[in-house]
């Protein structure tokens, strides 16, 4: 399987542009730069970064063993400059340990489900393909989409669809699922799609696929995506060297809200309003690099539909976490 043929990286040029100054500054200072690709996937972003910067190393994180294997094959020509790390992207500490560094010059997070997972017919991520309702990104753990549908009450399912899917018909769909499972277990994506379509009022049948938000909610719950992202953002900020840059690509509003909140908090002064002089400990840790959220242009959206919902946010670390850490990322 050719990883490069399976994956078109989203907003690749803009991502490279934003990370480049931090990578080049580290190289100019005589250090071998390090970027952590927290969501390695098929390795498209990592490949482009390694090709563009000959002294750069990238520690690529992914929980999916298939992604680690395929990306490793794609990036083999870069030798030890590519460092695979199989874990969830909140474990930035493990990536730094694997690379032998205290901090990184850049961190990239391309959130959501990867092309590999969407396109794999046997994983159950895509409502357009009949497959077992698994949805585990890393294939570990016992909770699958099928077990959630089998074990949660209608009230719990409704809340899940509302909170993680913003589904207006959450109550109706939850009741339909509970009624259907009383007749036969819901084990495949086709079964679930049929249940949701049958429960959708005819007047709303043409307003998007009824399974889209439900599948999103199930995937987020199975993989604990939002909980992991909540842990990741402060870890990523604290893992950057001064001058290091963080770029995050989010594809749905719940993810983007977490990212936005974390970056805004770290880029704002914490000094009390009545304090006449801002003390060093109150100064912001970050400088925002993008006003609001960046989006893919019309040409990229037309060429790669998966770029349509993306929201890009980026920031630069402007002061260390403590006075003993220098801008080179080494302890003084």
pLDDT in tens, 5-50: 556 799 999 999 999 999 999 999 999 999 999 999 999 999 999 9
Task: Check pLDDT > 50 for residue 60.
Answer: yes
Whole-prediction pTM value?
A: 0.86
Q: Which two tokens stand for residue 327?
A: 């801008």
Residue closest to 240 by CA, chosen among 64, 56, 63, 107: 107
Across all residues in the chain, what is the average pLDDT? 88
Query: What is the pLDDT at residue 331?
Result: 38
Domains of the chain, residue spans: 3-116+225-317, 122-223
pLDDT bracket for residue 324 (50, 70, 90)? very low
44 annotated ligand binder:
yes
Residue closest to 190 by CA, chosen among 175, 205, 180, 179: 180
The CATH topology of domain 3-116+225-317 is Rossmann fold (3.40.50)
Pair 246, 260: CB distance under 8 Å: no
Name the phi and psi angles at 288, rounded to 5.
Answer: -70, 140
Q: What confidence tens digit (pLDDT) does each residue in 69-82 have?
A: 999 999 999 999 99
117 annotated ligand binder:
yes
The count of residues in the chain is 332
- Residue 216: its H or E element: helix 212-223
45 annotated ligand binder:
yes
Task: Check pLDDT > 50 for residue 293.
Answer: yes
Span 55-64, mean pLDDT?
A: 96
How would you label 157-177 residue by residue, b for 16+ Cβ within 10 Å and e otherwise?
A: bbbbbbebbebebbbbbbebb
62 annotated ligand binder:
yes
Beta bridge partners of 34: 57
Q: Fold match between 3-116+225-317 and 122-223? A: no
Alpha helices in 246-327 (DSSP H): 253-266, 298-303
Q: Which residue has the tokens 């934003």?
A: 18
Strand order across the beta sheet in which 286-288 lies: 82-86, 57-62, 34-37, 104-110, 240-250, 311-317, 286-288
**Which one is predicted more confidently, 241 or 209?**
241
The distance in angstroms from the start CA to the end CA of the chain is 47
- Residue 317: its H or E element: strand 311-317
130 annotated ligand binder:
no
**Which one is predicted more confidently, 207 or 53?**
53
Q: Which residue has the tokens 């992202």?
A: 229
Q: Which residue has the tokens 């390694």?
A: 50
89 annotated ligand binder:
yes
Pair 286, 317: CB distance under 8 Å: yes
DSSP character at residue 19: H
Task: Check pLDDT > 80 for residue 118.
Answer: no
Domain boundaries 122-223, corresponding CATH code: 1.10.150.170
DSSP character at residue 323: T
């Amino acid at each position: 399987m050719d990883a490069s043929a399976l994956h078109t990286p989203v907003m690749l040029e803009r991502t490279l542009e934003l990370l480049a100054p931090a990578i080049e500054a580290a190289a100019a200072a005589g250090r071998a730069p390090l970027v952590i690709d927290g969501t390695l996937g098929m390795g498209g972003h990592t490949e482009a970064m390694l090709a563009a910067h000959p002294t750069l190393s990238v520690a690529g994180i992914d929980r999916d063993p298939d992604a680690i294997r395929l990306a490793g094959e794609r990036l083999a020509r870069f030798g030890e400059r590519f460092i695979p790390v199989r874990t969830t992207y909140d474990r930035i500490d493990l990536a730094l340990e694997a690379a032998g560094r205290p901090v990184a010059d850049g961190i990239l997070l391309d959130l959501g489900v990867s092309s590999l997972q969407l396109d794999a017919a046997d994983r159950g991520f895509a409502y357009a393909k009949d497959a077992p309702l698994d949805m585990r990104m890393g294939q570990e753990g016992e909770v699958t989409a099928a077990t959630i549908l089998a074990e949660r009450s209608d009230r719990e399912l409704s809340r899940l669809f509302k909170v993680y899917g913003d589904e207006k018909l959450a109550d109706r769909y939850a009741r339909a699922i509970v009624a259907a499972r009383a007749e036969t277990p819901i084990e495949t994506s086709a079964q679930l799609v049929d249940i949701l379509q049958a429960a959708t009022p005819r007047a709303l049948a043409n307003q998007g696929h009824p399974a889209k938000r439900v599948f999103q909610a199930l995937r987020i719950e199975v993989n604990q995506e939002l909980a992991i992202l909540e842990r990741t953002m402060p870890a990523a900020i604290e893992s950057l060297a001064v001058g290091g840059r963080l770029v995050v690509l989010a594809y749905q509003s719940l993810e983007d809200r977490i990212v936005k909140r974390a970056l805004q908090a770290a880029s704002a002064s914490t000094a009390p309003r009545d304090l006449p002089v801002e003390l060093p400990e109150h100064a912001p840790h970050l400088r925002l690099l993008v006003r609001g959220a960046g989006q893919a242009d019309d040409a990229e959206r037309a060429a790669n539909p998966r770029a349509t919902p993306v929201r890009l946010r980026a920031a630069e670390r402007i002061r260390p976490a403590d006075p003993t850490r220098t801008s080179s990322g080494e302890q003084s």
